Amino acid sequence: MKTIQHWIDGAAHGGAASRTTPVFNPATGEERARVALGGSAEVDAAVAAASRAFETWSETSVSRRTQVMFAFRQLLVEHEEELGRLISAEHGKTIDDARGEIVRGREVVEFACGLGDVLKGSFSDQVSNGVDVHDFRQPLGVVAGITPFNFPAMVPLWMHPIALATGNTFLLKPSERDPSAAEFVAGLYRRAGLPDGVFNVVHGGKEAVDAILTHPGIEAVSFVGSTPVARYVHESATRAGKRVQALGGAKNHAVVLPDADLEFAANHLTAGAYGSAGERCMAVSVAVAVGAAADGLVEVLARKAREVKVGPGDAPGTEMGPLVTRDARERVENAVGTAAAQGATVVVDGRGLKVDDHPECADGFFTGPSLLDHVTPEMDAYKEELFGPVLAVVRVDTLDEAIALINANPYGNGTALFTASGEAARRFQRRVKVGMIGVNVPVPVPMSYYSFGGWKDSLIGDSPIHGPEGVRFYTRPKVVTTRWPRPAQQADAGFTFPTSS
Ligand code: NAD
């Protein structure tokens, strides 16, 4: 059985061979590989390699750095199918869905290909007599990314293309549940001409993370994952003097007004709730049905939830794959039971689903789509991030009540409004306390040249990811004040604090 190794200084790095953990194929429940578990020794080795590489990479011209990005982008295009299959085999999502995440991640590489433009500084002529001012931005040094299982290609791609194109060197600590995408991407970078040591991967769990958070050679940490770990990462790395961006969990509400096209809204809510088995930080997990929309909406949602084709991610026609682990399935199915016990109506019950057409999947981690109605904010199914294919319907009377509900929720990642009213849409987008908003768009993930980030418990600290905020995060500014005096001006130095003249 294959052991997925760390990637340090342009080569596979064994680490302590005995320290590994299994990687499963969630569709069959079988162990498909093992992954090395790193700790401080592997993080030390990766930081040493990245520090050495920084000396030359940070001095490499912007043109040369972006040429590597162009080559890397082309390799991502050529290997989309292969990488998509690899992601599907460890995560469980469909191959098409995996290709979708590769495309969205590739868009960040495309943004990084144009960084020459974004990195332009400003220049002020003659701010004082014979004095000009300009500014420019420089890379930080060695930076690290710690990423979740649910987008093993896209979320790291939110980070490393911008970090590298701005001249930093990178250490990725991917999720130990689906580590192969990181190994694959490291190989593509090498083929694209990235020098050894510029991009490194250390696998593992908390031990590897802790080694990163306290390592004196790491300047900045990007984290995406659940809120408790985001908070821990933010506090620990900030205490160690690092720059941190830490994106957390979510509970995304989609509000449906009575004037919305219910068939259209339900179609999009179904895809947004059950796509990728609900394991997306932008998944729709709460449908807020306003007034007269409720009965009709629940009826259409129930019909569509029953029609979702559940199966292995590599089977043609599959719309929803398994959950990532057996534990995740148990947690999600228990949550449906708890919701029923707390008074919610289980309109569609996905528990115990068997994928009969695929006998090889008898031990896979499948659960079906579940639809809960009459959920209230006091219920666990509303309060907790279930991260599974469960859509909870909360009924309210007005749009203002829907906005108040969303604003009282501790999370604020994404939200959507389905309506035919421009006035309602404008009121919603201005008043709702959420970072990313869709109007008749259920999963409003911003394009790579905007930044991605939620509010409240969905983002700890103050730094969203990629786009202009990514460039800001991975660089720091310098401002230069310049004078080229003529001989006659040599003597005009004064003891008072300098002001313009
Ligand atoms: P997770 O928080 O369990 O793990 C994320 C990373 O942290 C992994 O690399 C993991 O190895 C590490 N980790 C886990 N526990 C740790 C601990 N106690 N100490 C130190 N490191 C630890 O998240 P996950 O289950 O892999 O991913 C799902 C979560 O990520 C969901 O909450 C989802 O909403 C969130 N997410 C958020 C966004 C966003 O943009 N806000 C995007 C994707 C996923």
CATH number of 54's domain: 3.40.605.10
Whether 103 maps to a domain, the answer reads yes
Same domain? For 162 and 184 the reply is: yes
State the residue range of the domain holding 427: 252-439
Q: In the listed set 410, 439, 468, which residue is the last one of a domain according to the structure?
A: 439
Same domain? For 225 and 315 the reply is: no
- Give the predicted TM-score (pTM) of the model: 0.97
The answer, yes or no, to whether any atom of ligand 1 lies below 6 A from the CB of 142, is no
Same domain? For 311 and 348 the reply is: yes
pLDDT of 18: 75
The answer, yes or no, to whether any atom of ligand 1 lies below 6 A from the CB of 465, is no
Whether 337 maps to a domain, the answer reads yes
Whether 116 maps to a domain, the answer reads yes
Give the atom of ligand 1 at the shortest distance from the alpha carbon of 228: 2
How many CB atoms lie under 10 A from the CB of residue 481? 12
pLDDT of 16: 61
CA atoms within 13 A on the CB side of 153: 33
500: its two tokens? 């313009």
State in Å: Cα 94 to ligand 1 middle.
Answer: 21
φ, ψ for residue 145, nearest 5 deg: -125, 135
Same domain? For 258 and 211 the reply is: no
Strands (DSSP E) along 381-440, which ranges? 390-396, 411-412, 414-418, 436-439
If one residue of 157, 247, 281 were mutated to test the ligand 1 pocket, choosing by the most ligand atoms within 8 A of its CB, it would be 281
Same domain? For 168 and 237 the reply is: yes
- Of 8, 273, 281, 348, the catalytic one is 281
Whether 451 maps to a domain, the answer reads no
Same domain? For 220 and 264 the reply is: no
CA distance 359 to 124: 70
If one residue of 149, 222, 460 were mutated to test the ligand 1 pocket, choosing by the most ligand atoms within 8 A of its CB, it would be 149
CATH number of 337's domain: 3.40.309.10
**C-alpha angle 465/87/269, rounded to 5°?**
65
State in Å: Cα 322 to ligand 1 middle.
Answer: 19
DSSP states of 450-467 as a string?
A: S-B--EETTEESS--BSH
The answer, yes or no, to whether any atom of ligand 1 lies below 6 A from the CB of 150, is yes
Whether 71 maps to a domain, the answer reads yes
pLDDT of 496: 85
Active site residue 113: no
Residue with tokens 């228990």: 334
End-to-end, the C-alpha distance of the chain in Å comes to 74
Same domain? For 244 and 260 the reply is: no
- Supply the residue whose CA is at minimum distance from atom 30 of ligand 1: 225
Same domain? For 96 and 193 the reply is: yes
- Which residue stretches of the chain have pLDDT < 50? none
pLDDT tens across 196-212, in order?
999 999 999 999 999 99
Question: Could you give the 3-state DSSP secondary structure of residue 207?
Answer: helix
Same domain? For 143 and 18 the reply is: yes
pLDDT of 494: 81
Same domain? For 237 and 262 the reply is: no
Same domain? For 65 and 203 the reply is: yes
User: Please, which residues bridge with residue 254 across strands?
Assistant: 287, 416
Same domain? For 381 and 320 the reply is: yes
Give the atom of ligand 1 at the shortest distance from the alpha carbon of 227: 32
One-letter amino acid for residue 438 of the chain:
G
User: What total of structural domains would you count in the chain?
Assistant: 2
CA distance 152 to 142: 21
